[in-house]
Structure 1
Amino acid sequence: MSAPAALITGGTSGIGKATAELLHSRGYRVMVTGVDHVTGAELPEDVVVVRADARSLRDIDDAMDQARRHFGSLDLLFLNAGISRPGPMETTDEDTFDALFDTNVKGTFFTLQKALPLLNQGGSVVITVGAGEGIGAAMTAAKGALLPLVRSLALELAPRRIRVNAVSPGLIETPAYSKMGVSKEMIDSWARDVPLGRVGAPADIAEAVAFLASDAAGYITGDNLTVSGGIGVHARP
């Protein structure tokens, strides 16, 4: 019996890369896609790395062809590719709006659509949803579209015993923050508002994804696992 196979979009840095490393260490055959360059020294040698833009259906098709060629089928699809463009409505232009929806929503939808023929019965799909509220109307809308999508897909794919769940990271220190110009000092100041008292690591999300993909989560579908160190938890009187 061959080892399980996982395809991770947005897998060349941050959360996706940490998940690739964790799954590989647990015996998965792993393929990652992304637009960032990754050298062989940054991921295990036998992890398949494919350059693909989540906004491009042609790139998605090419990635699926490679997944079919390398693995034949998939047991886990981790849809992690996404971008952040925070900002108020007044300064959001059309290009920013389109980029948010093309990457976060369109890319997620069509990658899953094109991966469906490869997903084994009983397989798992995990989608990174993340937070959007409070960081701009366009980003909130793009992120907010994903959770209803997860619930709808969970129902649609249940007859094939394919489970679909979301993972919602809280404050996780990834390269995305530096791309947005957020300093280490600012991240550390935000950490003071986290009940557990620290910034999360990509490995924290990787563990959540591995759980949702495992048999231990075999009766969980259409759900959203929040990994936030307690952000959003309110004490009741």
Structure 2
Amino acid sequence: MTTPEHTSPHDETQMALDNPVTRYPKIEPPKQDQPEPGLDAKLEPRADHGEDSYQGTGRLKGRKALITGGDSGIGAAVAIAFAREGADVAIAYLPAEEEDARKILRAIEAEGRQAVALPGDLLEVEYRNALADEAARQLGGLDILVNNAGKQIAIERLEDLSDQQVIETFQVNILAMFAITRAALKHLPQGASIINTTSVQAYEPSPTLLDYASTKAAINAFTKGLAVQLAPRGIRVNAVAPGPIWTPLQVSDGQPKEKLPKFGHNVPLGRAGQPVELAPAYVFLASAESSYVIGETLNVNGGKATP
């Protein structure tokens, strides 16, 4: 008979485990609106990028990474995690996101790593074509590329979805990915890693996100095809497919305003994810631990069924 003061190792393990349902709060965001692109500094509630929780173990020591959309949301969480794993990090972001970017740049520097700011607009061909070269110049090389920046605007009816919005969404989400990756290849050595951010929307498109979902499906195809092309060169290409993650994208017309209070409640875990919960997936795909992982789309979506 086991007394309370003589617990088994199994009991101790159970006591130490985190319940994924309750590890992060089930948020019910108030209806709110920000002009595109949105700022984490004004997000209610604020997103968790791992500032106080992510602990590195040196898995990316000496690596040099470029992350697009690295000022907030998933990109910011990845930037912090990479720095705590030992990497120097350049982040690309819109000039309007400077307030958020400065916070993340300070977090990178706090880990004793080099932080490079690369503000600009991916709609501008000259900027996106030069981005990888500038990152490599300032970092002294480049061996990780995270294509993460995205544009998402919800439109209820196809009749109201303009050609201009479709063009801009494709330019930012997928055409810029082609351009940045193409330019980065002259810098990426054997052992380098490219990680693209796709979405559960590629498999289960929301009727209000037709253009966005279409780009995410294209990113999956781009990832898998490029992975086969670059594998013989020793460069691995993979993707991460987030589910509903709480970021400024959602309040800058990324979701219908009336749906914000229940955002993410429809997944099996019953809550939206936090950006920090994506960071370990990117660290894994960037590190040598995933050396035999090629063309994978790693789903981090709270339990949504995917192919």
Under a length normalisation based on structure 2, what TM-score does the superposition of the two structures give? 0.71
CA offsets 1:6-61 (integer angstroms, 9 cap, x no match): 10011111111111011101110100001021453443333111102222231124
User: Structure 1 residues 233 and 154, CA, compared in 2 at 3 Å: closer, same or farther?
Assistant: closer
- Could you say which residue in structure 2 is the equivalent of 1:121? 190
SS of the residue corresponding to residue 165 of structure 1 reads strand
User: Structure 1 residues 4 and 42, CA, compared in 2 at 3 Å: closer, same or farther?
Assistant: closer
Decide whether the 8 Å contact of 2:129 with 2:179 is kept in 1: no
Alpha-carbon separation, structure 2, partners of 1:82 and 1:189: 22
Alpha-carbon separation, structure 2, partners of 1:199 and 1:85: 19
For the pair 1:37 / 2:105, whether they are aligned, the reply is no
- Could you say which residue in structure 1 is the equivalent of 2:265? 192
Alpha-carbon separation, structure 1, partners of 2:257 and 2:267: 16
Question: Which structure is higher in strand share?
Answer: 1
For the pair 1:164 / 2:226, whether they are aligned, the reply is no
User: Structure 1 residues 9 and 198, CA, compared in 2 at 3 Å: closer, same or farther?
Assistant: same
Alpha-carbon separation, structure 2, partners of 1:105 and 1:51: 19
Identity %: 34
Give the 5 Å matches for 1:41-190: 41-43=103-105, 44=107, 45=109, 46-87=114-155, 88-132=157-201, 133-134=205-206, 135-180=208-253, 182=255, 186-190=259-263
For the pair 1:15 / 2:74, whether they are aligned, the reply is yes
CA offsets 1:160-179 (integer angstroms, 9 cap, x no match): 11111110000100011111
Runs of 4+ in 1 over 3 A off after TM superposition: 38-42, 181-188
Decide whether the 8 Å contact of 2:152 with 2:254 is kept in 1: no
Alpha-carbon separation, structure 1, partners of 2:256 and 2:152: 16
Decide whether the 8 Å contact of 1:7 with 1:76 is kept in 2: yes
- Could you say which residue in structure 1 is the equivalent of 2:275? 202
- Alpha-carbon distance, 1:94 to partner: 1.1
- Could you tell me which runs of 5 or more consecutive residues in structure 1 were left unpaired when the two chains were aligned: none
Q: Give the superposed CA RMSD.
A: 2.1
- Could you tell me which runs of 5 or more consecutive residues in structure 2 were left unpaired when the two chains were aligned: 1-60
Q: Which amino acid aligns with 2:164?
A: D
Highest relative contact order (Cα 8 Å, sep 6+), 1 or 2?
2
Under a length normalisation based on structure 1, what TM-score does the superposition of the two structures give? 0.90
Tell me which structure has the larger Cα radius of gyration: 2
Alpha-carbon separation, structure 1, partners of 2:74 and 2:83: 14
